[in-house]
A and B are shown apart, each in its own frame.
Chain A
């Protein structure tokens, strides 16, 4: 693509040219309730992509489908790893989505292993390479040098993350003893310790104060730029979304109502309507209609 083509709105946006994750015709029904309805979007490699929408729009359901919590009723989820391998997430057992397809996630309500230490939380995330290195524990018991080296590497990687999120002093404390903001940071670090290619964050800024929220933005940029990990996040805090997202997908009632760069989405009338309600004259028209129906019913 030539330099000039970038200035003009290109026909295929970057995220469709090289997606790390392709969501195609995703539908999730719970009995009669359609939580996600024929949803398609792409997550660009190396992008921070945000999914926004009012409460109950189906955002978390999309995450649950991607990470194997739910089996989607219909649709296809293709993970394209950097080295070229492709994985159909909807067909994989949950642990392989993390281990082989390299998808990691965090939760809206924090799910750390509270009884384990901060460092151990990060070590569990590196379970698979260690298991292999220890020949399924036998080598670990015998203290083979090969295993000790891998263990040291894993501790080194975990330590670098603890320094990054300023929790190195608390490495040996139980995770449940950390303050709320620190638990959020630890959860992101733990997800990063699985060395994912896409990191799915469910409302990472929920409950954070403005300072912590700004810190989170820096952390997410670091993850994108330094660790070359694509980020997909659900967020309500518009200041976070608009500041750091490269690409925004808007959901309402399980359907996609807008999809594009953050500054375009900000001014999209459909998005404004979903977030702020419909225009006043439309409300009046609807109320009149209801009155007419009532009168008609009374006349009968």
Chain B
């Protein structure tokens, strides 16, 4: 039981990170029907920007908690802002000119952009992994269990995990509210349904699409910082695997659906964690992707996705 609770906590943490990235995939797919393969690398860029900012602020584990939290909020804002610029630029330069081109064109440039970002970071920052000393040590011990040999197994909820889960919940709420309640959210949904009609009502469709990329990139930057705090090491290649997992999460939850992306992210995180815990860690990706395949066979539009209706 204790072991299960511990894995649940770990899985939710990992799932939050996947969920934050998956939202970027799902929002862009929703509005222009394109898979932005460079999104995983936008996440990686966000992670690097966060690392640079942390080093620039001189944060260490020795800093007092108040300073640490204030500085991290600042780091988060900087990373979100700068990563958004990357997201916006990629859309402006590589995707917008190809809108209205054949369907594969933006897909190919997206893969190209992914490689561009990876190589850019590899050259600018070096290929070696970048470590970050843990900023938060400690946490809460939720349960304690004394084994027959006298060894004590503790269920821990670390400060980093709390931070990740709380931030994710807060940001998810904010972004869900933006989509549901603000004028920008309404125009995004309108563009999703009928871009041409939205334009005839005075909605600047290009700007709405750009802002969608910006929102996705900002959330990816949050995920980047969380990843950095949780694992403590990053390199230029983390965007690939995390991107593929998050994309899988978006498809699993039902691509185009915002709650679906979050649910898919949590599920992928949990599946991966529980599989590693109870079966074998080597096969965790096999498990995650096998479950994806099974879900897609029986639920082709994902868990919360709407069935695709062909427009006549």
List the interface of chain A (C-beta within 8 A of B). Answer: 67-69, 94-99, 104-105, 107, 111, 113-116, 120, 123-128, 130-131, 134, 136-137, 140-141, 151, 190-191, 194
Contact = CB atoms under 8 A, between A and B. Distances in A.
Given A140-B183, A141-B182, A95 B202 contact: yes
Contacts of A134: 182-184
B184 A137 contact: yes
B182 A123 contact: no
23 contacts: A95-B200, A95-B204, A96-B202, A97-B200, A98-B200, A111-B194, A113-B190, A113-B193, A113-B194, A114-B193, A115-B193, A116-B189, A120-B189, A124-B186, A124-B187, A124-B198, A124-B201, A127-B190, A128-B202, A130-B183, A137-B183, A140-B178, A140-B182
B243 to A, nearest CB: 26
* Among B186, B196, B198, B200: residue with most chain A CB under 10 A: B200
Contact of B186 (A97, A99, A116, A128): A116
A67 B200 contact: yes
B178 A137 contact: yes
B309 to A, nearest CB: 10
A114 B202 CA distance: 18
A127 B191 CA distance: 12
A125 B182 CA distance: 13
B182 A137 contact: yes
- Interface range for B: 20 to 34
Contacts of A123: 183, 186
A85 to B, nearest CB: 16
A94 B204 CA distance: 9
A126 B186 CA distance: 10
Contacts of B182: 134, 137, 140-141
Contacts of A67: 200
A22 to B, nearest CB: 21
Provide the main secondary structure of the chain B interface.
Answer: helix
B61 interface: no
A153 to B, nearest CB: 12
Nearest to A94: B199
B183 A131 contact: yes
Given A98-B202, A137-B183, A111 B178 contact: no
* Among B174, B189, B211: residue with most chain A CB under 10 A: B189
B205 interface: yes
* Among A94, A95, A104, A151: residue with most chain B CB under 10 A: A95
Given A134-B182, A137-B178, A137-B184, A124 B203 contact: yes
Nearest to B215: A137
Contacts of A131: 183-184, 187
Interface in B196-219: 196-205, 211
B197 A113 contact: yes
A194 B178 CA distance: 22
A94 B198 CA distance: 10
A95 B199 contact: yes
B111 interface: no
Contact of B197 (A111, A115, A128, A140): A111
B200 A136 contact: no
B177 interface: yes
Contacts of A69: 196
A117 to B, nearest CB: 10
A264 B189 CA distance: 47
Contacts of A194: 201-202
Given A123-B186, A137-B182, A99 B193 contact: no
A61 to B, nearest CB: 16
B29 to A, nearest CB: 16
A141 B182 CA distance: 8
B107 to A, nearest CB: 25
A111 to B, nearest CB: 5
Contacts of A140: 178, 181-184
A95 B203 contact: yes
A211 B187 CA distance: 34
A120 B183 contact: no
A141 to B, nearest CB: 6
A69 B194 CA distance: 14
B185 to A, nearest CB: 8
Given A115-B193, A127-B187, A128-B203, 16 more contacts: A68-B199, A68-B200, A69-B196, A94-B196, A95-B199, A95-B204, A98-B201, A113-B193, A113-B194, A115-B189, A124-B198, A124-B201, A131-B184, A131-B187, A134-B183, A137-B178
A104 B200 contact: yes
A169 B277 CA distance: 54
B201 A136 contact: no
B175 to A, nearest CB: 9
B190 A116 contact: yes
Interface in B83-130: none
B142 to A, nearest CB: 34
Nearest to A193: B201
A121 to B, nearest CB: 8
Contacts of B178: 137, 140-141
